Structure 1
Amino acid sequence: MSKSSTYTELPVVKWSRHFKNVVATFMTMSKSITWPRVVLFGDSITQFSFQANGWGSEIANKLARKCDVVNRGLSGYNSRWATVVLPRIIPKRAPDASIAAVTIAFGANDCSLEDKNPQQHVPCEEYKENLKEMVKFLASAGVSNDKVILITPPPLHEEWWEKECILKGSSLNRLNSVTGQYAQACVQTASHCGVDVLDLWSLMQKDGEDFSVYLSDGLHLSDKGNQFVAEHLWRLLESRVADLPFILPYWADVDPKTPENSLL
């Protein structure tokens, strides 16, 4: 082969490699992977669930390589504000088949005493209507009722929470008995809407159990409380995600010589 023929062929070789790279990139993009999602929507009890030993992180660990667990917890929010922001979190477009489940956990702020904390307080009847409105909206966005789980607020340890309130310059602004009324309203709403409910307020106090072990400051969850929520929520979630496949092949099943045959 002469020098001249060598130089004329090099660009062809480079173009051939470039073309193959372009095709490979296009194929990868055209076969993008849709990861199913579990959306956790709620107040601070949801927002903090991705901390170390949190119930959200535990659920995410169980669903690794099967499903994205998306934390949409909003500390301090009540159900009134939640109805406003939910359409921005799950837009009402085409039916969203990628959502495997949605949890809705509000009430811990709604149940604030109106005279002590009017900014967060929401009347119990309105709280029920707000929950119904969120379930209704999700259905219109393609998230059917069988994918929705309502979660009640946990019980309140008044003595501990009063100390937190005093540190912030206020008096006790919640009562466990009132929290229980909102928890019962959540349970009733779930029954009315035909969705599942995780009644933390009742479960954590079942048979007179000392529920303080489940709380860190009287309102938010301790490590044991996070574990409690993760275990009970998983019992409701498991059937909804049981059929989700393991996404992308196990590493030992990938062809090392032509990995694209296994991965694309």
Structure 2
Amino acid sequence: MVKRETEGGSTVRWFLPFLLQKNKFLPAQLNTRCSIPISHASSSAAAAEEGDSIDHDDTRILPLVHIRRPLSRLPRPLRRRRHVAKLLYKARLSVTHSLISSSFFFFGAGESQEMVRPRMVLFGDSITEQSFRPGGWGAALADTYSRKADVVVRGYGGYNTRWALFLLHQIFPLVGIAPPLATTVFFGANDAALLGRTGERQHVPVAEYKENLKKIDCSKSMLIVLITPPPIDEDGRERFARSLYGEEARKLPERTNEMAGVYASQCIELAREMNIHCIDIWSKMQETAGWQKLYLSDGLHLTPEGNAVVHKEVVQTLRSVGLKAEEMPYDFPHHSRIDGSCPEKAFQ
């Protein structure tokens, strides 16, 4: 159980996450629970003391460390940033993705500290890019976590997982920014485009698709939620093509529901292999009679009802690991806690 200390009537938990930035560590305070094997940490610290070389490619962002007592009560050597840094360089940390109840980052030192609101990144193709349209699942997620976390859309229409890999260092930079609290990865609809059809340049072989998804899971310190490609309504795709191109529309489908299912199964299999969360939207939507017109606007993209299904599944997954919006703290005091005659007290 976490050791708690009370300061000024409020209960606080102390943690020491660190980010690697040009061979320096930036301390932050975060109420996220993680674990570190003590025996491994001790041997790793000893190795670091002996001057072993440091592999900067061990991990993109060092995971968060759960300190079981306030920093002031740690042994004096552990209070030194240099000693803690050496310990963290080599230690292999196992992050538990549960019990995440409060997660505001503070960067800098002393008066220069800056609070950074936790982020949830939505990474995917056009289904993610369109998620902030009216009735979109991204907009609904931002509303669910309003004042608790920023929901950041990184959706790129037409992209497959092969092209998405070129964006990783921009979307999940190695240094200078805290890792997202959670990330949804929603690709596959374009990877599953058929060869010899209009969308063949988007096609990615299913084995490569699976490997690319594995590479996108680039940090051990953030929660990854994979989402399978949605089902395909082939008749709906044909009707949509005819509405755009008339009789010139190709009769052969550029995507099929069967092929989308193959990619969905590989996404699910990868999640099992890596022990990460996966939402099987391909199967979930097909559980409802008339899903083709109810959930898909053009045989591929989502209607408001389809967006609602994705939103519900994402929220359920986040709640299952402790990210319950009602239990997360506000970024700033609720208005009921502000004294009209002395408002500054609420912000101290």
TM-score scaled by length of structure 1: 0.81
Partner residue in 2 for 1:211: 291
Distance 2:274 2:289 in 1: 30
In the alignment, is the contact (CA less than 8 A) between 1:101 and 1:240 conserved in 2? Answer: no
Partner residue in 1 for 2:136: 54
In the alignment, is the contact (CA less than 8 A) between 1:190 and 1:197 conserved in 2? Answer: yes
Partner residue in 2 for 1:131: 213
Distance 1:52 1:128 in 2: 32
Q: How far 1:252 sits from its partner (Å)?
A: 2.0
Task: Return the letter of the residue paired with 1:263.
Answer: F
**Aligned pairs for 1:147-186 within 5 A:** 147-166=223-242, 167-168=244-245, 170-171=249-250, 172-186=253-267
In the alignment, is the contact (CA less than 8 A) between 1:35 and 1:68 conserved in 2? Answer: yes
The total of aligned residue pairs comes to: 229
Q: How far 1:263 sits from its partner (Å)?
A: 1.8
Where 1:233 maps in the other structure, the secondary structure is: helix
- What is the aligned counterpart of 1:220 among 290, 294, 301? 301
Alignment of 1:79 onto 2:155 = no
Partner residue in 1 for 2:78: none
Alignment of 1:108 onto 2:184 = no
Task: Return the letter of the residue paired with 1:87.
Answer: H
Structure 2 spans left out of the alignment, 5+ residues: 1-110
Task: Return the letter of the residue paired with 2:289.
Answer: E
In the alignment, is the contact (CA less than 8 A) between 1:37 and 1:70 conserved in 2? Answer: yes
Identity of aligned residues (%): 39
Deviations 1:19-75 (A, max 9, x none): xxxxxxxxxx84533211110000011111111111111111010010101111111
More helix by share: 1
Distance 2:118 2:142 in 1: 12
Where 1:241 maps in the other structure, the secondary structure is: coil
Partner residue in 2 for 1:255: 339
Distance 1:229 1:221 in 2: 9
Partner residue in 2 for 1:10: none
Distance 2:200 2:301 in 1: 20
Q: How far 1:241 sits from its partner (Å)?
A: 1.8
Q: How far 1:94 sits from its partner (Å)?
A: 6.2
Structure 1 spans left out of the alignment, 5+ residues: 1-28
Distance 1:114 1:131 in 2: 21
- What is the aligned counterpart of 1:192 among 273, 277, 280? 273
Q: How far 1:92 sits from its partner (Å)?
A: 1.4
Alignment of 1:40 onto 2:130 = no
CA RMSD of aligned residues (A): 2.0
Where 1:204 maps in the other structure, the secondary structure is: helix
Where 1:202 maps in the other structure, the secondary structure is: helix
Q: How far 1:259 sits from its partner (Å)?
A: 2.4
Distance 2:275 2:169 in 1: 21
Partner residue in 2 for 1:11: none
